Every structure is written in structure tokens, then in C-alpha cells.
Amino acid sequence: MLLTTHGVDVMGIVFAVRHIMTRNIISVKNSASVVEAAAVMVKNDIGYVVVTKDGKPVGILTERDILKKCCPRKLCGEDLKVEEIMSSPLITIEADASLGEAAMLMTDNKIRRLLVTEKGKIVGIITEKNVLRGTLSYFESVVSM
């Protein structure tokens, strides 16, 4: 087994972030209301939306952001905008990074999601669940050798 900065190579099987990320990123504009963003999350059965301004990612709004920043203060009305409670700046990871690097970055920053970049461009998102599934796949491949 070889541990590299470009994923984990097990007998030719590489476990990098790119192999487990979700490529379809759901987003809302920074001017959207929190209520609108929550409706998008519910519709797509996800716990986050990437927030964009002028077509570029500027933050992420998560279920946790809504619960911690909005609900305790009873701010969740139509007037509250996503940009007022989103998490920013975005924390990203390169697509060729290992699952271990992703897990450490999430742990160190106390977050559950990372946007994935390739050559400076956002190409996907990775969640704690993705890392867990990828880790299980890795262990299954090692055990079956």
C-alpha cells in the first residue's frame, strides 16, 4: 500500500477525493432568502446549498447555519438573505487529494463539507458521508486482496 498526496494507491486502485465527490452542485444566489434556500435543500434532499454571487461561489449555507444562526433568534423570515448567515470563506480541497486529507481538513475546520477544486475551478463537493463511503470501499478492497 502506498500513501501519496494524490490519493491512496492500493495495488493500482486509487482513492482520491475525485473518485467520491458529488459533481452536481446545487446553488442559490446570495440574494435569495433563507426560506427559499431551505426549500431548495428540501426539494433536493440535501443539507446545503452553495451560495453564488455573479455566478461565482462565495459561501455555503448548511442546515447547521440555519439552526445556529437563524432559528434561535427567530430570524427566519422572508427578509433574511442567505448572505447574512452563510459560512464564508469557502474551504476547498484539490480533486487529487487523499480521503485522509479531506477528513483532516473537515475535522480541523469543524465542517462537514468541502468544495472540490481542479486547476482553481470548483468541480464538485465532498461530504462526511462521501468520505465514510470511500473509506469503507478502501477497506473492502484491502481485505479482498
State the DSSP string of 72-111: GGT--STT-BHHHH-B-S--EEETTSBHHHHHHHHHHHT-
What is the CATH topology of the domain spanning 2-143?
A: CBS-domain (3.10.580)
Task: Give me the pLDDT at residue 124, please.
Answer: 96
In this predicted structure, what is the pLDDT of residue 70?
79
Q: How far is the first Cα of the chain from the last one, in angstroms, to the nearest whole number?
A: 11
**pTM, to two decimals:** 0.80
Taking only the tens of pLDDT, the chain with its 145 residues reads 333 344 544 444 447 899 899 999 999 999 999 999 999 999 999 999 999 999 999 999 999 999 888 766 666 667 889 999 999 999 999 999 988 899 999 999 999 999 999 998 999 999 999 888 887 777 777 677 6
The pLDDT assigned to 51 comes to: 97
Nearest to 101 by CA among 64, 135, 143: 135
Q: What confidence score (pLDDT) does residue 4 get? A: 39
Q: What is the pLDDT of residue 72?
A: 64
